[in-house]
Every structure is written in C-alpha cells, then in structure tokens.
Amino acid sequence: MKIRYVLLSLLLIGVLITGAVLLMPKLINNEETATKETNTTTTTKQPEPIKNNEPDTTATTAIVVPEEMQAVIEENNEEIYVDEAGLLAGNYPSQMVPLYGVTSLSQSNQITGVSGQPGWKTSYVSDYSTDEILVFYQNLLTSAPDYSEEVVSATTNLKGTVSGYTISISISPNNPDKTDLPGNSAVNIFIEQV
C-alpha cells in the first residue's frame, strides 16, 4: 500500500513539474505582451469641434415677392410684426413671409436644412384666433403654384414654393405648457431655399 502512495505521489509531482514547465513560458509571454500593450500609445479620432450655431451656408437665391403676396401684406400692414428689438434671425425674409399678429416671438433661427440648403425657422404666439391667422397665411400662399393645405387634428399645415423658397407654416391652438407663452394661437414657420 505504501508503494501505491509513493508511486501516486511521484506521478502527481511529475505532472505538476511538467505542467509548470509548459505553462511558465506562456505566462511569461502574456506578461510581456501586456506590458507592451500598455506602453504603446493609441491614437483616437478627436471629436469634431462644436459649431458656432451658425448655418453651414447662407441663402443665395434673391427674394422676389409676387404681386399677389405683396397685396396681401399691404392690406394687413398694421398687424405685421416689425422687428425693432432685433429678435428675428439674420436675413429673415419678412418681406416675403411676415409674422402676422405677433404677441410673443418664441424663437427665430437661421438654419441649414436636412437637404443642406439654408433657411429659417421661426415660432411665435398670437392673441389672434387660429382662424384669423389662417386666413392671412392662406391668402399669402394661395398664389404659389404648388400650394397645399393639410389639417391634422387641430393643426393646419400650409405649404408652397415662392421665389425659390419652400415655405411651410403650421398654425395651431397655443398650448402654454409647451410654449411657456400666453396666447390663443401658436405659429411655426419653416423656410428653406430650394
């Protein structure tokens, strides 16, 4: 019985020594590789710098206001917003798409649209009813050859192309929880160069 324990012990010691001899070089190589990996520097792509909130391009198409639109603007001249405080985005085409019945201007930005073309996005709130504002903008855009009107829920969307610019106007009842401004109607205007 003792011989059995001695032989098993010798066999176990032999296996341990053989295993140690075979595994040690691999363990040493892994440590060297790991040290080499930590010593090498990796280059990472720097993030793009934050833009200065300016559009990528500026509008180049000259704005020509058709006579029909000019007549509508002149008829409603007293209700047209005059930007004395300089709140409208730079070069906003108010001669073509004026703001009607403004109580509070919530935003006005010069933008670059999805297609890469320059444009403007403007939102305001009015004490006028949605019907009064709708009539003004309908009269303003009906002369556009591709004029369309769509009613979705309580929002009316008007769209047309005038003087090389696509004009989209949404008129809806104001929700003060969303706009943080009191008033009856909310108007969103999106203009993009074609």
Which stretches of the chain score pLDDT less than 70?
1, 27, 30-57
Q: Are 158 and 171 in contact (CB under 8 A)?
A: yes
Q: In sequence order, what are the residues at sequence separation of 6 or more whose Cβ sits closer than 8 angstroms to the Cβ of residue 169?
A: 97, 137, 141, 157, 158, 159, 187, 188, 189, 190
Please indicate, yes or no, whether residues 88 and 127 belong to a single structural domain of this protein. Answer: yes
- Kindly tell me the burial class for residue 9, based on how many C-beta atoms sit within 10 Å of its own C-beta (0-12, 13-18, 19 or more): exposed
Please indicate, yes or no, whether residues 94 and 38 belong to a single structural domain of this protein. Answer: no
The pLDDT value recorded for residue 41 is: 52
CA distances (Å), origin 131, targets 86, 102, 152, 162, 185: 28, 14, 15, 23, 9
Q: Does residue 134 fall inside a structural domain?
A: yes
Please indicate, yes or no, whether residues 7 and 82 belong to a single structural domain of this protein. Answer: no
Helix (H, G, I), strand (E, B) or coil at 55: coil
The pLDDT value recorded for residue 64 is: 86
Q: Does residue 154 fall inside a structural domain?
A: yes
Q: Determine the structural domain holding residue 184 and report its residue range.
A: 67-193
Q: How many CB atoms lie within 10 A of CB 183?
A: 20
CA distances (Å), origin 64, targets 19, 68, 164, 188: 88, 12, 9, 22
Q: Does residue 114 fall inside a structural domain?
A: yes
Please indicate, yes or no, whether residues 179 and 112 belong to a single structural domain of this protein. Answer: yes
Dihedral of alpha carbons 17, 18, 21, 25, sign: negative
Please indicate, yes or no, whether residues 87 and 157 belong to a single structural domain of this protein. Answer: yes
Q: Which of 125, 172, 122 is nearest to 150 (CA)?
A: 172
User: How far, in whole angstroms, is CA 41 from its chain's centroid?
Assistant: 36
Q: In sequence order, what are the residues at sequence separation of 6 or more whose Cβ sits closer than 8 angstroms to the Cβ of residue 97?
A: 140, 167, 169, 189, 191
pLDDT tens digit string along 19-68? 778 877 776 776 555 555 555 555 555 555 545 455 556 777 788 889 99
The pLDDT value recorded for residue 50 is: 44
The pLDDT value recorded for residue 186 is: 96
The pLDDT value recorded for residue 14 is: 85
Please indicate, yes or no, whether residues 39 and 76 belong to a single structural domain of this protein. Answer: no
Against a cut of 0.85, is the pTM above it? no
Please indicate, yes or no, whether residues 28 and 91 belong to a single structural domain of this protein. Answer: no
The pLDDT value recorded for residue 18 is: 83
Q: Are 123 and 186 in contact (CB under 8 A)?
A: yes
How many domains are there within the chain? 2
Q: Does residue 56 fall inside a structural domain?
A: no
Please indicate, yes or no, whether residues 72 and 23 belong to a single structural domain of this protein. Answer: no
Please indicate, yes or no, whether residues 182 and 86 belong to a single structural domain of this protein. Answer: yes
